[in-house]
């Protein structure tokens, strides 16, 4: 009869394990957040990007409070290792995202890495960045059957309204 | 009122340890075949399934030494050769085959193949190359490390003038025609 719980069960755990220790995991994510704020678009393994996304968005929420807020400044000081980015965060990113209520980042999967590990990679970017767009919004073609039928219906309705 | 709750596990463990000990020492009544406990009744013998071994041993123990076949450890081995038909059934079973991917599509921009939930490799490589050149221009403009600007950035190609939306922004010039997939907004 088993008298101890198996150590391999991790039901309900939300945080992934990275690096050598919990502190190392935070350092890793902190480097990624700094890189994202500096370059506005980075390419990393999908798991790290996914984990980092939450931290980055919460940092921007803190930045939206304004740089006079003590808590926000302490958070920015911890999370951004390069201190010139604190100015960029409060003066560029906070005004840019002021109208948006949430979801300031975009996470997209890219083909697996070319090296031996074939890791699942993702590109994470801040919305509204000046770089070329990754995905072009596709407008529906006018030549599909459904669109032609709708066009015909619209024309019939206009003709009926005209008479 | 303080309520002390002890977990039931140590008590259970102690109970099992005591009974394991008793089992090992052969004092648990009637479990291990044939041996009656030392204090059992002399006349009324507990009925074991086999007769106690010492009755027969007296005759045979002198004749037979413990044979080699009983003392070595037997291990599992296949009895018969697995036929090719049986082997084929096992090897070609659906869950051993590689799954075919049904999520491959054609990229509408360039016509290369891509997975539905993944960005097109060719288009992404194009965007990555252009981003790299833009970042080289940014590096030249900034001059050194840790010079991130405190204003927005806008990228302008050959022959383009900043509009009224690009008022207070830092301008990055790229010496080429604007690519068709980079729409100016």
| A98-147 confidence digits (pLDDT tens) | 999 999 999 999 999 999 999 999 999 999 999 999 999 888 889 999 99
CB contact under 8 A, B146 and A109: no
A85 touches chain B (CB under 8 A): yes
| Chain A environment of B130 (Cβ under 8 Å) | 132
Q: Does A150 touch chain B (CB under 8 A)?
A: no
Parse chain B into domains and list their residue ranges. Answer: 113-173
Facing residue for B131 by CB, picked from A84, A91, A131: A131
Structure tokens at A21: 């220790």
The verdict on pTM exceeding 0.90 is: no
Sign of the Cα torsion B136, B142, B148, B153 reads negative
Please state, as a whole number, how many other Cβ atoms lie within 10 Å of the Cβ of residue B11: 10
CA A106 to chain centre: 4
Query: Inter-chain contact B12–A87, Cβ cutoff 8 Å?
Result: no
Question: Chain B residues with CB inside 8 Å of A87's CB?
Answer: 148, 150
Give the C-alpha separation, A13 to A28, whole Å. 19
Chain B residues in contact with A34 by the CB 8 A cut-off are none
Low-confidence winner among A7-21, A80-94, B16-30 (lowest mean pLDDT) = B16-30
Comparing C-alpha atoms, which of A101, A53, A94, A75 is closest to residue B150?
A94
pLDDT at position B21 is 62
A120 exposed, middle or buried (CB, 10 Å; 0-12, 13-18, 19+)?
Answer: middle
Question: How many other C-beta atoms are found inside a 10 Å radius of the C-beta of residue B56?
Answer: 11
Q: What number is the average pLDDT over the span A151-156? A: 96
Q: Is the pLDDT of residue A4 over 80?
A: no
Query: In chain B, which residue's Cα lies nearest the Cα of A83?
Result: B146
Within A21-104, strands assigned E span 41-45
CB B122 within 8 A of CB B110: yes
Interface of A with B in 25-84 (CB under 8 A): 38-39, 41, 43, 82-84
Mean pLDDT rounded to a whole number for chain A: 94
- What mean pLDDT do residues A40-67 have? 96
Low-confidence ranges of chain B (pLDDT < 70): 1-16, 19-66, 68-69
Of residues A132, A139, A158, A155, the one with CA closest to residue B119: A132
Q: For residue B146, give the nearest of A3, A84, A132 by CB distance.
A: A84
Residues of A in contact with B12 (CB under 8 A): 3
Question: Residue B112 has which token pair?
Answer: 């290369």
Residues of A in contact with B157 (CB under 8 A): none
Higher pLDDT, B11 or A8: A8
Q: Which of A87, A88, A134 sits opposite B127 (nearest CB)?
A: A134
Residues of A in Cβ contact (< 8 Å) with B153: 130
Above 60 in pLDDT, residue A149? yes
Confidence of residue A6 (pLDDT cuts 50, 70, 90): confident
Distance, in Å, from the CA atom of A22 to the CA atom of A31, rounded to the nearest integer, reads: 14
Domain A14-136, CATH:
3.90.1030.10
How confident is the model at residue B184, as a pLDDT?
85
Any CB–CB contact under 8 A between B13 and chain A? yes
pLDDT, average across residues A31-50: 96
Chain A within 8 Å of B127 (Cβ-Cβ)? yes
The answer to whether A126 faces chain B, any CB pair under 8 Å, is no
- Determine, for residues B124 and A88 on separate chains, whether the beta-carbon distance falls below 8 Å: no
Is the Cβ–Cβ distance between B118 and A111 less than 8 Å? yes
User: pLDDT of B38-70, one tens digit each?
Assistant: 565 566 666 666 655 666 555 555 555 667 667
Per-residue confidence (pLDDT) for residue B28, from 0 to 100: 55
Measured between beta carbons, the chain A residues lying within 8 angstroms of B182 are 132-133
Contact: A87, B124; criterion CB under 8 Å = no
Q: Distance from CA of residue B179 to its chain's centroid? A: 45
Judge whether B182 is closer than 8 Å to chain A, CB to CB.
Answer: yes
Are the Cβ atoms of B181 and A132 closer than 8 angstroms?
yes
Q: Which residues contact A102 (CB under 8 A, 6 or more apart)?
A: A57, A61
């Amino acid at each position: 009869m088993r008298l101890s719980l198996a150590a391999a069960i991790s039901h309900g755990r939300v945080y992934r394990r990275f690096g050598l220790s919990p502190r190392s995991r935070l350092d890793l994510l902190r480097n990624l957040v700094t890189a994202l704020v500096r370059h506005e678009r980075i390419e990393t393994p999908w798991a790290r990007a996914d984990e980092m996304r939450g931290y980055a968005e919460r940092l921007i929420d803190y930045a939206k409070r304004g740089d006079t807020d003590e808590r926000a400044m302490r958070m920015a000081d911890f999370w951004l290792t390069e201190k010139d980015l604190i100015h960029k965060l409060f003066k560029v990113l906070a005004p840019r995202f002021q109208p948006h209520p949430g979801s300031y980042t975009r996470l997209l999967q890219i083909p697996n890495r070319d090296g031996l590990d074939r890791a699942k990679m993702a590109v994470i970017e801040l919305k509204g960045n000046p770089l070329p767009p990754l995905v072009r919004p596709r407008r529906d073609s006018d030549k599909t059957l459904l669109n032609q039928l709708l066009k015909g219906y619209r024309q019939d309705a206009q003709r009926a309204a005209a008479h | 009122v303080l309520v002390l709750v002890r977990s039931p596990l140590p008590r259970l463990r102690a109970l099992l340890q005591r009974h394991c000990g008793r089992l090992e020492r052969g004092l648990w009544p009637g479990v291990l075949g044939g041996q009656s406990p030392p204090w059992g009744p002399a006349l009324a013998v507990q009925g074991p399934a086999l007769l106690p071994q010492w009755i027969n041993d007296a005759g045979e123990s002198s004749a037979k030494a413990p044979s080699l076949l009983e003392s070595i450890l037997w291990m599992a081995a296949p009895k018969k050769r697995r036929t090719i038909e049986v082997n084929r059934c096992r090897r070609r079973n659906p869950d051993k085959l590689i799954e075919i991917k049904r999520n491959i599509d054609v990229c509408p921009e360039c016509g290369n193949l891509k997975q539905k939930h993944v960005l097109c490799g060719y288009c992404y490589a194009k965007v990555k190359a252009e981003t790299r050149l833009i970042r080289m221009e940014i590096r030249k403009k900034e001059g050194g490390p840790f010079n991130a600007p405190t204003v927005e950035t806008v990228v302008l190609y050959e022959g383009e003038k900043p509009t009224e939306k690009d008022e207070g922004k830092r301008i990055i010039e790229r010496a080429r025609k604007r690519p068709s997939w980079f729409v100016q907004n």
